[in-house]
Chain A
Amino acid sequence: MSLFRLKGFPGTGNFRHGIHPPDNKALSEESKVEVMDVPESVTLPLLQHLGVPCKPVVKPGQIIRYGEMIGLGEAFVSASLHSPIAGKIKRMNVVTLPNGRHLPAITIQADGDQIPPQKLWDEMRSKDWPRDCISIYDPLTIVKIIHDSGIVGLGGAAFPTHVKVTPNDTRMIDTLMINGCECEPYLTCDYRLMQEAARAIVTGALLTGRAVSAREIVICVEDNKPEAVKKLTEATEQTVIKIAVLKTKYPQGSEKQLIKSVLGLEIPLGGLPSDVGVAMSNVGTMATVARGVIKEAPLTHRVISVSGRGIKTPKNLFVPIGISMKEVIDFCGGITRDAARIIAGGPMMGFSFSDLSAPVTKGTSGLTVLTHDEISDEKETPCIRCGRCVDACPMNLVPTRLALAARYNSPSIASQYHIHACFECGCCSYVCPAKINLVQLIRTGKTLVAAWANR
């Protein structure tokens, strides 16, 4: 169908179905990463990752340094938490994250001498990241440092990275794939990071590749990010890392679709990338791994993009984790008069929220503020069974069937039509001419199926 063809890889650079929403990346892709100053206080929820919450190891009133551990991830699928500022533990409280979860959190009041955030960012984008002495690091040491640094996937799902890289005798990793697709419209943080800190990403990739003993390391980028490809090509010279330039299409950055695109492999339903010998991680995570291993600094800061026509000046920012959304929005000039929706993440899979005191977490890739003209708020009309959702679904499902099954409370039909395979990318809702929010109905359907299975 498509003329696009990926060279040098088993895959085609493309996957079945998917959509082409306007990417709107022009709003912020030219803005260099700006560094935000140390905020007066930060609020750090104890669950910023997928898995078990971490356990607080500090008490109110305690003085802490930059990077000191404040929450310990005891369980295997958990991640430790470190302070992004020097200060004093103010209190333990509860915050509501944009995804709706109420979580215990630690608030830290800035106090004492701070490490200037600019220094941290300059370190990240420097050209001195090593490429050739990676072998001095023992693979297990790398895994341990990743674990101790509280590193989680920065692409959005925030899955603890050490879980992915811990050696497993039954599942050998053949290929390490570094995800720089950033297929969500509006978001540009990974694009900026690939341009400005390509060397850090490469070092992180080499270290992680060593940790998982990968035979191949591939950095995957969509073809709408030529500058990133250029910078990464320079940074990967004389290394084993290959770069795969893929067709720009949503959801190219989804794990299953990306593996299909690059390697031509399909993860079995309900399986993990390791089932096909792949470990995948985001570019931002790689830069953090490099910093963790080489500079012995935990995950305390990240790059986010603040975009959308509802924000006065869209920007890409280097921010401490735990800073409030309000401070981030104010730093970008505030929201416009016609702003209608504030989203943590991108417009396809992000969560809209209204409480601006919510903190930036490890998994926050951006903040998108959309105007009335940009959002979809049209009235739902009856399904005319046109099948566009079927042609859009990257998992090859029949979304309208699943939605109907959910609406009319029939979990057996929903599960017969493989509702569990849906990863809620939103393609079906995007293309629906009747403006039915199929994904939301499917989410309802999943809970119905779960309740039905446990009956």
Chain B
Amino acid sequence: MSDTIKNKEPIAPDSADERSGPLIHVAPSPHINDATAHTQRMMTDVILALLPIIALSIYLFKFYAVKQLLICVVACMGSEFLFVRMRGKALTLKDCSAVVTGIILALSLPGSAPWFVGALASVVAIGIGKTLFGGLGMNIFNPAMVGRAFVMIAFAQLMGAGSYENVTGLVDAVSGATPLSALKFNDLFMPASSLFWGTTNGSLGETSSAACLLGGLFLVLRKTISWQIPSGILLSVALIAGITDLIGSHSGLFLVHHLFAGALMFGVFFIATDPVTSPLTPKGKWIFGIGTGFLIMVIRLFSGYPEGVMFAVLMMNAVTPLINRWTNPQPMGEA
């Protein structure tokens, strides 16, 4: 990156000579900025919002959750260190973005997936998904989802519905298969309450809609994530699932499943809202949200996969530059 604005080195007051008085430096305006706006703070906000989900996943999946989280966070930070070093750039671990990618990646994996799945996904997420594109802010695809897509295809056996059944713990009593697989392949419905509170099987972070909503609303209120993307996805998913529900006369349970089961709530608030890979303008964010919701439902209803959040987000990531171009706003006064 060329640096047109070289950062002004802050001059410590004590570096000024006692007799000559304070050192005054000049810089272009504006001379003040919002101290509460900070990339690092946005990242720590996300980590904070993920805490209820982490806590619940540890409660549900015990050691499996702890192991997966540790593997992914350590591997993501390690890859960030390694790849940034290889590019000869200044270390960027301090911005916490690698930690966020690690946690989100871990929470999107099944607890029972062996250690190398998480580790490999992390290396791909940070190395190929992020650093190869130029690091934070430059990547086109959501890094965590790039990593997950890689292991999803490479280790379909370990990632598919089969792997969920090995998990021991609380959820074992409830069901082996994930709610969406059960629905897709066996036409079985779960009680809505267990979908909401999360006592079902699934990837670590996707089971409880309540925990995702809690964290997500916190992020929306803090303005760390946009409200347009979650609204867009939820609206279009609800609309398409609602219509399908009416046609198939599932008396509402179908709609409930598509809203609260699977990775929808987790994806809505923590994956699709990644600022780097989503559009800039409010209008673009609406288009992105509605498009993602639409693709999720297309994959869920018509493809071989029971779940579509990951691929939907990746596909919408790919069209984000185009959306940005379409939604170049008219400046004030331009009729």
Contacts and interface: CB of A to CB of B under 8 A. Distances in A.
Contact of B32 (A336, A370, A372): A370
Interface of B is mostly: loop
Interface string B254-281: 0000000000000000000001101111
Contacts of A21: 32, 34
B41 interface: yes
For chain A, what secondary structure do more than half of its interface residues adopt (helix, strand, loop), or is it mixed? loop
B42 A266 contact: no
Nearest to A343: B31
B10 interface: yes
Given A260-B332, A354-B24, A370 B31 contact: yes
Nearest to B16: A337
Interface stretch (A80-88, A120-128, A229-237, A428-436): A428-436
Interface stretch (A63-71, A144-152, A389-397): A389-397
Interface stretch (B74-82, B120-128, B132-140, B212-220): B132-140
Contacts of B226: 387
Interface stretch (A279-287, A297-305, A376-384): A376-384
B39 A433 contact: yes
Contacts of B41: 433
Contacts, number: 190
A26 interface: no
A12 B121 CA distance: 52
A350 B332 contact: no
A164 to B, nearest CB: 19
Interface stretch (A37-45, A51-59, A175-183, A438-446): A438-446
Interface in A197-244: none
Contacts of B26: 341, 352-354
Contacts of A390: 280-282, 329
Interface string B22-39: 111111111111100111
Contacts of A376: 30-33
Interface string A331-350: 00001111111110001111
A440 B4 CA distance: 9
A433 B222 CA distance: 13
Interface in A386-408: 386-388, 390-391, 394-398, 400-401, 406-408
A49 to B, nearest CB: 20
Contact of A441 (B5, B27, B34, B328): B5
A340 B7 CA distance: 16
B18 to A, nearest CB: 10
B11 interface: yes
Given A380-B5, A407-B4, A418 B331 contact: yes
Interface residues of B, number: 52
A31 interface: no
A73 interface: no
Given A269-B331, A341-B24, A430 B11 contact: no
A441 to B, nearest CB: 6
Contact of A439 (B29, B285, B324, B335): B29
Contacts of A267: 333
> Among the interface residues A335, A340, A431, A444, which one has the most CB atoms of the partner chain B within 10 A?
A340
B2 interface: yes
Contacts of A430: 30, 32-34
Contact of A433 (B29, B38, B328, B330): B38
A339 to B, nearest CB: 5
Nearest to B31: A347
Given A337-B13, A376-B32, A376-B33, A385 B27 contact: no
Contacts of A433: 37-39, 41-42
A381 B27 CA distance: 18
Contact of A382 (B23, B32, B136, B279): B136
Contact of B328 (A269, A407, A417): A417
B187 interface: no
A385 B274 CA distance: 9
Nearest to B43: A384
Contact of B331 (A349, A383, A396): A396
A375 B333 contact: no
A256 interface: yes
A426 interface: yes
Interface of A: 16, 19, 21, 185, 256, 260, 266-269, 271, 310, 335-343, 347-354, 368, 370, 372, 374-388, 390-391, 394-398, 400-401, 406-408, 416-418, 421, 424, 426, 429-437, 439-441, 443-444
Given A338-B22, A377-B27, 15 more contacts: A260-B332, A268-B334, A347-B31, A353-B26, A354-B26, A376-B30, A384-B137, A384-B276, A387-B280, A396-B330, A418-B334, A421-B333, A433-B42, A435-B33, A439-B29
